Copies of this chain bind each other. A is one copy, B any other.
Amino acid sequence: MSRSVLELRHLRTMLTLQDTGSVSAAAQRLHLTQSALSHQLKALETHYNTQLFDRRRQPLCATQTGQRLLTLAQLVLPAVEEAERELSRMVDGEAGCLRIAVECHTCFDWLMPTMDDFRAHWREVELDIVSGFHADPTSLLLTHRADLAVVSEYEPDPAVFYTPLFRYEIMALLANDHPLAEKPRLSAEDFRDQTLITYPVPDDMLDLVRQVLLPAGINPARRTSELTVAILQLVASRRGVAALPFWAVKSYVDRHYISARPIGEGGLFGELYAVVRQEDAHLPYMADFLHTMREVCASALAGIALLPLVE
């Protein structure tokens, strides 16, 4: 039993046979001998047990069954060429797909301008944001469910390429007339009897909890909200206190809508990194996106410090 003899080569032969109307001419165009095509055709005809071309007269013409295979060839071969062309553009890093996984809510503030800028320069790259929040964005990369992740921790891994983005201060946010606003800076202890307003994410994604409150054994009451402005509104109306990146709320503080105070002795800082698969790091569009991210952050976010590029 000979499983499936049909190959793309045969479809190419059939199409050329149809175009040229002769075996010899088709052979010439395919850089093969007349004999080769004759054998090829005979093999197909034997396999399908039907004549595919009527070779009794010139120009030779397809039989009904031959026509059916020609129809197939006309569908398949252009699709193959199209795929190979696109593949080559992908390899060259002109076309591609850039799915971004984000683990912090506030990142959208600078991610959107970055994407807008990028889209204008790389029309053939499909941009997308991977919906939902994930425990370990790096594993999304390695399972090819995302192509870039924004993370707050750097863990060395040879399969992966990190680009440092920036360092920012996380400030405690209080209503202007809140008693704690008297203090120049807050300590872990200050949060004990407060209601803490956060995004609805696990504790280990909240820098304040993980780095300050948890070590001090303090676990204040909670309230959550998806939107940054909603959190600020709650703070302003004295429903609780929050801790957010300063750059995300600076404009509100400047307008005295709320007050901001450093947390702990030297302040509480976070860092952000972009991480991509090692093999994608040097694709032109990927390198450009990484570069654009830093540019946009530096110019759009007040009070941050770009981290130095390594390597």
Contacts and interface: CB of A to CB of B under 8 A. Distances in A.
User: How many copies of the shown chain assemble into the complex?
Assistant: 2
Interface of A: 3-4, 6-9, 31, 48-51, 54, 56-57, 61-65, 68-69, 71-72, 75-76, 79-80, 83-84, 86-88, 90-91, 96-97, 142-144, 147, 159, 279
26 contacts: A3-B31, A6-B8, A6-B80, A6-B84, A7-B8, A48-B87, A48-B91, A49-B91, A51-B279, A54-B144, A56-B142, A57-B143, A62-B144, A64-B96, A64-B97, A64-B144, A64-B147, A68-B83, A68-B86, A68-B87, A69-B83, A71-B83, A72-B80, A72-B83, A75-B79, A76-B79
A64 B48 contact: no
Contacts of A84: 6, 48
A76 B7 CA distance: 11
Contact of A79 (B8, B65, B72): B72
Contacts of A50: 87, 90-91
A90 B76 contact: no
A6 B76 CA distance: 12
A231 to B, nearest CB: 37
A159 B54 CA distance: 11
Contacts of A71: 83
